[in-house]
Homo-oligomer: A and B are copies of this chain.
């Protein structure tokens, strides 16, 4: 982590895009009709598309969570995007997918034929808008991967799962308390944050020791004071 060359004239947190992660669809929207698409479901940890597969379809998440990842030849894995309800994937530059998509939870998807989606202006605009939001999330994630410490990464990750706080940092003096469900193993969190499983575990333990978070089940975390977590993200 490079702490020199400080530019204290500028802080970006307040400008971050309003992306958020939800793994559960709002109850009322579960039956939302989606024209020009068919619906499919996948169980947790199922591979939805493989890197290199023919990119014939575009996917929108109706319910559940999905991870996109890439592998290096020797097996190192990086989870590139963490997607929730409303997010889209399957947009490829060429003829094939550049990432593998895997269901994080049981997931329900709307599948659009690529060409059909591009022809239907209403669908295309909706998918495109969502893609832009995900682009901003990718930008933030590059900042995290390139410049944040292990503790800052884990704090940022946790905050991203708090509804309404994703990418915003502490707007106002909200000292609220909240419970979040991770839905990811330590290995997945590590692969998402560019850390090892042990470093993730140590960061969780350290945050717990300091009272920033609390948990008994390891994937159900309570955040007693969101602002306090905020201050540890490095974005602040």
Contact = CB atoms under 8 A, between A and B. Distances in A.
A2 B76 contact: yes
Contacts of A84: none
Contacts of A2: 76, 190, 195-196
Count of this chain's copies in the oligomeric assembly: 2
A18 to B, nearest CB: 6
Given A94-B17, A132-B91, A12 B72 contact: yes
Contacts of A14: 52
Contact of A80 (B1, B68, B118, B139): B139
A142 B78 contact: yes
Interface string A124-161: 01001101110110111111011110000000000000
B3 A146 contact: no
A132 B142 CA distance: 17
Given A16-B98, A93-B17, A94-B17, A6 B74 contact: yes
Given A52-B12, A93-B136, A76 B17 contact: no
